[in-house]
Amino acid sequence: MDLEARFAYQSFRPGQKELAQRVYEACVDGETLIAEAMSGFGKTAAVLTGALSAAEETGCRVVYACRTKRQIDRVVEETTRLQARHPFKAASMLSKFDYCLLRRRRAVPQESFGWYCTFNVSNNLCSYFLNVTLTEDFDRLVKEALARTPHHPELIRRSELAHVCPYEVARLAMAQATMAVVPYQYAFDPRAMPALFDRNSLDRRKTLLVVDEAHNLREFYRGLNSATITLDQISGAVREAEAMLMEEAAKSLSALQRTMEQVIAERQGWLLDRDSVLERFRRDQGTAWLQNLAFELSASSGAAWGSVVYGRKLPSLILRVGEFLVRLSTSSRSILVKWDNTFGLVDPDPVSGAADYMSEFRSSVLLSATVNPSSVFARSVGLKPEKVRAYHASGEPLVTVRTVVDTGTSTRYKLRTPEMFSKISDRVAAVIRSTSTGVGVFAPSYAVLAAISEMVSKKVTDRNMVSEARGLSNDQATDVFDAYRSADDSVLFAVQGGRFSEGEDFDGGAMGSIVVVGLALPPPSPMMYAEYASLKRAGEQDSYLMLSRLPALRRAFQAAGRHVRRPGKRGLVFFLDERFGNAAARELMPSWLRKDLVVGDLPPSSIESLSREFWSRHG
């Protein structure tokens, strides 16, 4: 095994070769490895080198699972570099929705897209799909995609020219590839897995699984194993069914709405007795009523036909209610909870099957820049610390970062007063005024983001300011990114844990200072109560650290690392919240954030002079 020969660059950065070697050994020996390396370390290139070397030696394939499309883009970039050095077949696959050429003709909501595609394919209405078996171009596209993995817009462009479905090109390429780069869904969601494992005969025993940004895994499983529905959504589904002339479905949905309203009104507290709710439906409506309704709504072709015949938008709320009812009537692990006008189905132990699942692979490598302490992280994703190995990459990139923790501010709920917001915005304005390059400001929530950005923009009027909004599409996010890059000294306002604080790179001098405002502790919710109760029953001592504190600190540290992408980087990180100043938080800080640390109650004038002094020395 010659790691140098496979590595895509002329030479390794400090620590990269050791990480590649460790990943190689773990993959060959069939271990589960937790590997930590800081932002800007170049871990993707190192891990790919180790995993692909092991794959070649053991006759395995590599599945590289990423949380976001941006992260997939980065891995695809590294993959094509590797392919140029040492040819191998690789493929990347997003969701059908991302690829669909047919949906360009009409607006199709993502929730009802599955119907849309199935309906068009099964009724021979999609010429892009029909062409898959008819054109030679299809095989050529698959071959080209395997030899040099294209970015998704490029695959879509080539497929459009040949008039074939890009998803089918990606799917066939995936079946033949030595390495698959996919979103988490294909690796962990049983509903999406068949596209990667069964239909393509990818044997998990002969697969090396790499999970990028693995600190997100518990949250991903939580989303996968929970569902919510509101009374408003149920009444919206009634209206959709009436509009589609689905009389029986509309009547049943109205009955469902009445019962759910009664349940909300009758019960105190957040926990509901799921069995007695199911029994109530049986008693009032008949034995199989709920199951039949769930099936009809979630699989109904009536609504799909209706939308085509009446030229209406595909109804998304009918499907949403149907999927909730399917889970309510079938998922025995979930408990039923309520708050306000919302029902939730929650798995109190969302990662219960994760360890068994990962053990089906020859080897699993979980990567992150922030998994410290690794034993808590391992337990948070259902793994037994004694059965996994942890590796902390040494050889941090030589970065010059000053970290400033301001203990005079806080976004604790009780302290969120106009005076506190004014204090915070004065400090953010001081950072912006004393930084001649770009600045990133990361808030704990959209509400705080809106308040702070509005106040700061009144105090600083000569800078290009752009802001992340809730629920941005990919194209809208690209617009925000482009707007930020349109000036060298722009200011970006975004949320911690959002799309701009992970997976988005602000390279070079594009962002000189980062301000992390507040600690993004998850708000208390019945979902969290249920998980706390489950961890307590299991004897977990660190449940608060695992479920609340660590995820919030990780979000903050991830945001802080956005501008550190390569060795030699200089910059400042400001944490505006007294909770970052306590000893426990400082201990959990990655070491690169502790090298030059200033802690204190720092008025704007002190912040400005700390910043100016840093830039006069390192600018």
- Interacting residues with ligand SF4 (CB under 6 A): 96, 99-102, 117, 120-121, 126, 128-129, 165, 167
- Which is closer to ligand SF4, CB of 150 or CB of 561? 150
Nearest to 86 by CA among 170, 208, 179: 179
Question: In angstroms, what is the minimal distance from the CB of 474 to ligand SF4?
Answer: 17
| Shortest separation between residue 111's beta carbon and ligand SF4, angstroms | 15
Half-sphere exposure of 70 (CA within 13 A, CB side): 16
Q: What angle (nearest 5°) sits at the alpha carbon of residue 596, between those of residues 590 and 599?
A: 90
Q: For ligand SF4, which is the closer residue by CB, 124 or 268?
A: 124
Q: How far is the CB of 517 from ligand SF4 (least distance, A)?
A: 41
DSSP 447: H
- Neighbour-count burial of 201, counting CB atoms closer than 10 A to its CB (0-12 exposed, 13-18 middle, 19+ buried): exposed
DSSP-assigned letters across all residues of 255-300: HHHHHHHHHHHH--SSEE-HHHHHHHHHHHH-TTHHHHHHHHHHH-
User: Min. distance of Cβ 184 from ligand SF4 in angstroms?
Assistant: 20
Smallest gap, in angstroms, from Cβ of residue 600 to ligand SF4?
56
Question: What count of Cα atoms within 13 Å lies in the side-chain half-sphere of residue 58?
Answer: 22
Q: In angstroms, give the least distance from the CB of 148 to ligand SF4.
A: 23
Residue 160 or residue 505: which is nearer to ligand SF4 going by CB?
A: 160
Closer by beta carbon to ligand SF4, 121 or else 271: 121
Closest listed residue to residue 51, CA positions, set 112, 100, 87, 1 = 1
**Least distance (Å) between residue 38 CB and ligand SF4:** 39
Between 99 and 188, CB nearer to ligand SF4: 99
Measured from the CB atom, is 125 or 584 closer to ligand SF4? 125
Q: Closest approach of Cβ 43 to ligand SF4, in Å?
A: 33
- The smaller minimum CB distance to ligand SF4, of residues 133 and 417, is found at 133
Cβ closest to ligand SF4, residue 61 vs residue 96 = 96
The 10 Å Cβ neighbour count of residue 52 is 28
Our CB check for ligand SF4 shows the closer of 115 and 391 to be 115
What is the three-state SS of 194-232?
HHCCCCCCCCHHHEEEEECCHHHHHHHHHHHCCEEEEHH
Answer yes or no: are the C-beta atoms of 407 and 600 closer than 8 Å.
yes
Contacts (Cβ under 8 Å, ≥6 apart) of 527 = 222, 226, 337, 344, 346
Q: What gap in Å lies between CA 555 and CA 66, rounded to an integer?
A: 17
Q: Residue holding tokens 């938008």?
A: 313
Provide φ and ψ at 53, rounded to 5°: -65, -45
Task: Check: CB of residue 96 under 8 Å from CB of residue 108.
Answer: no
Smallest separation (angstroms) from ligand SF4 to the CB of 91: 17
Kindly provide the residue ranges of all beta strands, DSSP E only, lying in 378-528, ordered along the sequence: 389-392, 400-406, 439-443, 465-467, 491-495, 513-517
Distance CA 188, CA 381 (A): 12
Q: Which residues pair with 465 in a beta bridge?
A: 491
For residue 77, give the amino acid letter: E
**Residues composing the chain:** 619
Q: Can you name the residues that pair with 336 across neighbouring β-strands?
A: 272, 345
Q: Find out whether 526 and 585 touch, Cβ atoms under 8 Å.
A: no
Report the half-sphere exposure of 414 (CA within 13 A, side-chain side).
Answer: 0
If you write DSSP's letter for every residue of 103-121 in order, what string do you get? GGGS---GGGHHHHHHHHH
Smallest gap from Cβ 194 to ligand SF4, in A, equals 16
Least separation in angstroms between CB 311 and ligand SF4: 18
In this complex, which beta carbon is closest to ligand SF4, that of residue 153 or of residue 223? 153
State the minimum distance, in angstroms, from the CB of residue 175 to ligand SF4: 17
CB of 72 to ligand SF4, least distance (A): 18
Comparing CB distances to ligand SF4, the nearer of 42 and 315 is 315
CB of 581 to ligand SF4, least distance (A): 51
Residues 6+ apart with CB under 8 A from 515: 427, 428, 431, 439, 440, 441, 442, 574, 576
Smallest distance from ligand SF4 to CB 108, Å: 9
Q: Which is nearer to ligand SF4, 96 or 320 (CB)?
A: 96
Of residues 128 and 281, the one with the C-beta less far from ligand SF4: 128
SS3 category, 150? coil
Closest CB to ligand SF4 among 128 and 615? 128
208 within 8 A of 63, measured Cβ to Cβ = yes
Nearer to ligand SF4, 102 or 483 (CB): 102
